[in-house]
Amino acid sequence: MRSYPKGADMSAPRLQTKVFSLSNDRHAVPVIALFNLIFFQGYAILIHTCVNVYPNRKDVNRIMPFLMDCHCHSDSSPDSKTPVSEHCEQALALNISTLCITDHCEANVYTEEGYDKTIRRSLSQTREAQTAFKNLEILTGMELGQPMQGVAHTNHALEENPCDFVLGSLHNVAGRPDFYFLDLHKENIPELLNTYFSELLDMIRWGRFDSLAHLTYPWRYLAAAGLSVPFSDYKEQLDEILQALVRQNIALEINTSGLRQDMRQAMPSGELVNRYVSLGGRLITIGSDAHRAEDLGKGLLEAVHMVRMTGLEEITVYRKREPYGVNIEKGNQL
């Protein structure tokens, strides 16, 4: 069991750098003020200018809410063409403070489809970006798909590629293609979903990942196929999953990609996030699952709102596989 260091926030020193750069954008204003002071004895004007140019702590938090995106894919994932550097530039443009690159590492086709090589490439490019982008916290990560469908490969991936954050995913049930490829009109939906939940449960009991990615993933494709399946039909299975997460001290991810797809809601929904918290869950990570720079950060404010609605005060970020709580209201703790 890992401990949960409440309130720890390692991001503050780096964010102070960002405040400095914010001020730099307006450096011309203090120069004008100094001119006033020397030539027109404009003491009052100088004081007024300084107060307005250097925002106080509360103002900075209002201007730059603490946002982290802990799920995105670079061109080391087969379904993305975006270099890590492009995501980093976009993160800076959006005032995202912490970015974790989580490229795919599909255990069931690990060597066949070359994930053993691409995940190594992903981590090395992320480390290069850490050197190049000093004003952004960049974390190394992976989205470990179907870990129980290739345990030897999973162990290899984890041992050879130590990183800050591991998302656990299930994109397909054993022996079947990704839900994306299924013709759901021809499937036995209850059987398929029960298998999905039972494989998720095995994954959580195994437990060598930090946060469960996009719970309710099949609903993304059910919605795309025009099929409506209420979550309440699977209340028992969902409860079992959420309880297992709490027991294993594994985080629940709010994946905002669903908000920009047919299902029009986050994975999981706010209702399920509330349920996780009411069952004792305290660890929530957030991520856009962006495969293109323009999707980075999308829906994160909604995700923060969802966390706030549960009554939790913190969002979790993982560094070196350890959870750190970041206070939603105090944000950067500047």
Which residues contact Zn ion by CB under 5 A?
Answer: 143, 169, 289
Q: Which is nearer to Zn ion, 284 or 312 (CB)?
A: 284
In the bound state with Zn ion, the residue whose beta carbon lies nearer, of 33 and 217, is: 217
- The distance of closest approach from Cβ of residue 318 to Zn ion in the complex, given in angstroms and rounded to an integer, is 16
Kindly state the smallest distance separating residue 73's Cβ from Zn ion, in Å: 6
In whole angstroms, the minimum distance from the beta carbon of 282 to Zn ion comes to: 23
> Smallest gap, in angstroms, from Cβ of residue 107 to Zn ion?
13
With 0-12 / 13-18 / 19 or more C-beta atoms within 10 angstroms meaning exposed / middle / buried, residue 156 is middle
Contact residues for 184 (Cβ-Cβ < 8 A; gap 6+): 221, 222, 225, 227
- Nearer residue to Zn ion within complex by CB, 76 or 169: 169
CB nearer Zn ion, residue 9 or residue 106: 106
Nearer to Zn ion, 210 or 289 (CB): 289
Strands 314-319 and 284-287: unpaired
Closer CB to Zn ion, 75 or 143, in the complex? 143
Number of residues that this document lists for the chain: 334
Minimal distance, residue 90 CB to Zn ion, in Å: 16
Minimum Å gap between C-beta 281 and Zn ion is 20
User: Looking up tokens 């930090």, which residue turns up?
Assistant: 210
